Amino acid sequence: MKSHRRAMKSLVPSERIENRIYFLRGQKVMFSTHLAELYEVEPRALVQAVKRELSRGSLRISCFS
């Protein structure tokens, strides 16, 4: 039921996403605070979820701190 509610939310405009992507040291990056804002969660919760998934081996990202 929870995933159904998420599907009902409106899409985020692409400009809002594009304005939060930065180019640093040859890589496209997005700050965790901006990503959390797009997902409508607290930044702390997002960081915890990413760390949990990294420890499980579920995520493949080059760097996270």
Please tell me the predicted confidence (pLDDT) of residue 25: 92
Inside any domain, residue 52: yes
In a domain, 61, yes or no: no
Domain-embedded: residue 37: yes
pLDDT tens for 14-32 read 999 999 999 999 989 999 9
Number of domains within the chain: 1
Question: Quick check: is 63 in a domain?
Answer: no
Q: Is residue 24 part of a domain?
A: yes
Cα 13 from Cα 20, distance rounded (Å): 12
Residue 62 lies in a domain: no
Q: What does residue 28 show for φ and ψ, rounded to 5 degrees? A: -85, 130
- Which pLDDT value is given to residue 31? 92
Q: What pLDDT score does 24 carry?
A: 93
- Over the stretch 41-56, which tens digit does the pLDDT of each residue have? 999 999 999 888 888 8
Domain that holds residue 48: 2-56
pLDDT of residue 1: 47
